[in-house]
Amino acid sequence: MSITVVGSIAFDAVETPFGVRERMLGGAATHFALAASFFDQVRVVGPVGDDFGEQELEVLRTRGTSTDDVEHVAGGRTFFWKGKYGWDLGTRETLDTQLGVFESFSPKLSEQARACDVLFLANIQPGLQLDVRAQCADARFVALDSMNLWIDIARHELLEIISRVDCLTLNDEELRQLTGKPNLVSAAREILTTGPSIVVAKQGEHGAALITSDQFFALPAYPLETVIDPTGAGDTFAGGFVGYIARHVGSGLSADVLRNAMAYGTALASFNVEGFGTEQVAAVSAEAVAERVAELWQFTRFEHVVVELVG
Amino acid sequence: MSITVVGSIAFDAVETPFGVRERMLGGAATHFALAASFFDQVRVVGPVGDDFGEQELEVLRTRGTSTDDVEHVAGGRTFFWKGKYGWDLGTRETLDTQLGVFESFSPKLSEQARACDVLFLANIQPGLQLDVRAQCADARFVALDSMNLWIDIARHELLEIISRVDCLTLNDEELRQLTGKPNLVSAAREILTTGPSIVVAKQGEHGAALITSDQFFALPAYPLETVIDPTGAGDTFAGGFVGYIARHVGSGLSADVLRNAMAYGTALASFNVEGFGTEQVAAVSAEAVAERVAELWQFTRFEHVVVELVG
C-alpha cells in the first residue's frame, strides 16, 4: 500500500531548556514520512526553496521515501518556523513564521502520488487539503491533521475537508474548540457524525485517545526521563499510526489494528522527542521501535482481579 | 485490614458550567472514605463544627465507615471551601476558604484508629500528617496526598513526612514543583529515593500513572460524556486505590495488585465526577464499580501484533 503525505517541509529553529538549534530539517510532512517509511513506500508532496539541498532530500529519502513530488520553487525560500518551549516542554511560543514557498503553493501531484492507497493531509490550509483530497479520489484511507489557526480563520473549509476523510487527528483543545463542546468524548462523538469514522485526540505527554462509534482506546505516551524537543511529535505519531494502518487497510481495520497503530505511533513519537528535529527517527532501528511497542504493552496491561466489594 | 484516613471534612460551595451547589458535604477525608468503604472498615479522623449534623454523619457512615474519630468542636464551624470551575472543568479558582475548626485541629486518634493496618494522610498541613503518622506506628501501608500550598510554605515538613510513607499521590505539576524536575518520570524517580516505594501521578481527565523502582503503569480516566463536578475526584481515586491495596497488603503488593488498585480508584473517581459532591459515590452499587473496571480493561488492552518494519 503506498502512502502519500502532503504538508510542510521546513527549516525549524528551536529553543528548549536542553539546547538550541538555529536551523534544522522539520515540517509536518517530513516528520510524518520518517515514521511512515517504516511501514510502506511514502511519497512526500510539498514545496521547498533554493535553500533546500541534497543533504535534506537524503534525510527525506530515509527508508525509501520518494521525493519526486517535492516541488522545488526556483527563487523561493523553504518554510521557516521558530519556536521556544517552556521549562517542562508543556507550552511553546512561536517566535517567527516565514511561509516562503508555501505562500503560493498549489499542490500538483504526480500520477503515482495520486494513485496512493493511503493519504495523510498534514496540517496546512484546509483549501489545499480539499484540493489534494480530490486528486487522490481512489485512496482507501485518508487521515487529516489541522490546528487552531484554521479553526479560527477557515472553519467552513476545514469542516468540509473533515467530512471527506476517514480519520481526524487533533489535540484535545482543538477538538473542543472545533466542536464547541467542553467534553472530549462528546466532541469526538460529534465529529464522528460528520464523516470520519475515527477520531484520534492527541494529548502530548499524556498520550493519545482513539474514539470510534463503537470503541474507546487510550494509550499513555512512552515514559521518558529525557525529552529534548517535542517538535514534530504529533506528526511522527501520525506517521506511525497511519503507516501501521496502511499495512492493514486491505484486510479491514479491526480494533486490534487500530490499537497497534496507536502503539506504533506512540513508540515512534517517543524517539522523535528524544532528540532535536529528525535525528532520532531517521536513525532508529526497526528492532528498537518494536521493543518500545512491547514495552507500551507492558506499561498498560492489567489482569482484572475482581474483589468482592462491600455493599 | 482496617483503614484510617485523616483529613478534611468540609462543606463545599461549587459552581461548574453544569450547576451550582451552595453547600454540600465534601472534604478529602469524606471523599476518600466513601470510596475506600467498598473494600474495608474505614475510620475517619477530622474535626467538624456545630453546623455538622446527623445527616452528614450518616453519609460518612456509608458502607460501615466509623465516625467515632470525627471530633465535634463545640462552638466551631466546619471547614468551608468555595470554588468555581472553567468551561471544560480543566481549571478551577478558589473563591473562599474558611478553616473554621481546622484552625486549631490537633489529631487525637482513638486506639482503634491508631491500630489501623492502612493509613491515608489526606491533604492537610504536613505537621499534622507527621503527628498522625507517629500515632499509627504499626500501619503496614501508608499513603500521602498533599498540594502546592504545602510545597510552598511547609516544604521541610512535607519532605519529612514523605520520607515516612510508602506511597505519595500528587498531581503532575506538584511532582514537578516538589522536585524541581520538569520531567515527570525523573521527578517520580527522585521521590522514590527519599522513602516512598510508590508514586502515583494524578493527571485529571488524562488519568493517572504509577511509578515504582521497577515498573511504570498508566491508566486513562474512564471516558465520560457527562462530567458535572470534579471536586473530590483525586481523593475518591485515592480511596479506591488505597482500599484495594488494603485488601491485599497482607499478601504483598504485586504489580497486578497495584494495577488493579489504579483501576478501582479510576472507576470510583469516574462516579464521583458524574454528580455534585458525594451523591454518586454514596449511592453507586458494587456491581457498577466492577463493571467500570472491566470496561477500563477493555479500553486499554491491546494484543501486540508485530509487523515487519522496513529498515
Q: Which of B66, B301, B303 should one mutate to test binding to chain A, selecting the residue with the greatest count of A CBs within 10 A?
A: B301
- In single-letter form, the type of residue at position A132 comes to V
Report yes or no on whether pTM surpasses 0.90: yes
Determine whether the interchain pair A300/B303 forms a contact, defined as Cβ–Cβ distance below 8 Å: no
Q: What residues contact residue B58 under an 8 Å CB cut-off, 6+ apart?
A: none
The C-alpha R_g of chain B, in whole angstroms, comes to 19
pLDDT, tens digit, for every residue of A112-163?
A: 999 999 999 999 999 999 999 999 999 999 999 999 999 999 999 999 999 9
DSSP of A249-284, one letter per residue? GGG---HHHHHHHHHHHHHHHHHHHTSSTTHHHHH-
User: Residue B156 CB: number of other CB atoms within 10 A?
Assistant: 7
Write b or e for each residue in B107-146: b if 16 or more Cβ atoms lie within 10 A of its Cβ, otherwise e. Answer: bebeeebbebbbbbbbbbbbebbbbbbebbeebebbbbbb
State how far residue B289 is from chain A, nearest Cα, in angstroms: 9
In chain B, residues with a C-beta closer than 8 Å to the C-beta of A270 are none
Question: Of the candidates B20, B26, B17, which has an alpha carbon nearest to the alpha carbon of residue B98?
Answer: B26
B206 is written with which cell numbers?
Answer: 488524562
Q: Which of B259, B262, B304, B306 should one mutate to test binding to chain A, selecting the residue with the greatest count of A CBs within 10 A?
A: B304
β-sheet with A92-98: strand ranges across: A19-26, A10-16, A79-85, A92-98
Q: What residues contact residue A86 under an 8 Å CB cut-off, 6+ apart?
A: A92, A93
Which residues numbered 10-29 in B keep a CB inside 8 Å of some CB on A?
17
DSSP of A140-173, one letter per residue? SEEEEE--HHHHHH-HHHHHHHHTT-SEEEEEHH
Distance CA B189, CA B172 (A): 13
DSSP of B213-235, one letter per residue? SS-EEEEPPPP-S-----TTHHH
* DSSP character at residue B65: -
Assign A252 a pLDDT band (cuts: 50, 70, 90).
confident
User: Residue A163 CB: number of other CB atoms within 10 A?
Assistant: 11
What does residue B206 show for φ and ψ, rounded to 5 degrees?
-90, 0
What does residue B303 show for φ and ψ, rounded to 5 degrees?
-95, 120
> Does B185 contact A at CB distance below 8 Å?
yes
* DSSP character at residue A67: -
- In single-letter form, the type of residue at position A32 comes to F
In chain A, residues with a C-beta closer than 8 Å to the C-beta of B303 are 256, 260
For chain B, 311 residues long, give each residue's pLDDT as a single digit of tens. Answer: 899 999 999 999 999 999 999 999 999 999 999 999 999 999 999 999 999 999 999 999 999 999 999 999 999 999 999 999 999 898 899 999 999 999 999 999 999 999 999 999 999 999 999 999 999 999 999 999 999 999 999 999 999 999 999 999 999 999 999 999 999 999 999 999 999 999 999 999 999 999 999 999 999 999 999 999 999 999 999 999 999 999 999 888 999 999 999 999 999 999 999 999 999 999 999 999 999 999 999 999 999 998 999 98
In chain A, residues with a C-beta closer than 8 Å to the C-beta of B217 are 299-300, 302
**What value, to the nearest 5°, has the Cα angle with vertex B110 and ends B107 and B113?**
90
State how far residue B90 is from chain A, nearest Cα, in angstroms: 9
Determine whether the interchain pair B220/A205 forms a contact, defined as Cβ–Cβ distance below 8 Å: no
Kindly give the residue spans of alpha helices, DSSP state H, lying in chain B.
Answer: 28-36, 54-60, 111-114, 126-135, 148-153, 155-162, 172-179, 184-192, 233-248, 255-273, 279-283, 286-300
Helix A172-179 vs helix A184-192: angle between axes, to the nearest 10 degrees? 60
Distance CA A33, CA A120 (A): 10
In chain B, residues with a C-beta closer than 8 Å to the C-beta of A223 are 184-185, 209, 211, 216, 218
Question: Of the candidates A190, A230, A206, A229, which has an alpha carbon nearest to the alpha carbon of residue A300?
Answer: A206
A311 pLDDT higher than 90: no
Determine whether the interchain pair A300/B297 forms a contact, defined as Cβ–Cβ distance below 8 Å: no
The arithmetic mean of pLDDT across residues A21-45, rounded, is: 98
Q: What value does the mean pLDDT of chain A take?
A: 97
Report the pLDDT value the prediction gives residue A1, as an integer from 0 to 100.
81
Determine whether the interchain pair A217/B247 forms a contact, defined as Cβ–Cβ distance below 8 Å: no
In chain A, residues with a C-beta closer than 8 Å to the C-beta of B40 are 310
Nearest to A182 among B89, B185, B297 (CB): B89
Report the pLDDT value the prediction gives residue B311, as an integer from 0 to 100.
82
> Does B180 contact A at CB distance below 8 Å?
no
Which residues numbered 136-165 in A keep a CB inside 8 Å of some CB on B?
none
**What value, to the nearest 5°, has the Cα angle with vertex A164 and ends A162 and A168?**
40
Distance CA B245, CA A98 (A): 55
> Does B209 contact A at CB distance below 8 Å?
yes
* 8 A C-beta contact, residue A162 and residue A188: no
Q: What residues contact residue B166 under an 8 Å CB cut-off, 6+ apart?
A: B141, B142, B143, B196, B197, B198
Determine whether the interchain pair B223/A207 forms a contact, defined as Cβ–Cβ distance below 8 Å: no
State how far residue A222 is from chain B, nearest Cα, in angstroms: 10
> Does B218 contact A at CB distance below 8 Å?
yes
Q: Which residue has the cell 504526480?
A: A110
Determine whether the interchain pair B299/A207 forms a contact, defined as Cβ–Cβ distance below 8 Å: no
State how far residue A297 is from chain B, nearest Cα, in angstroms: 7
A250 pLDDT higher than 90: no
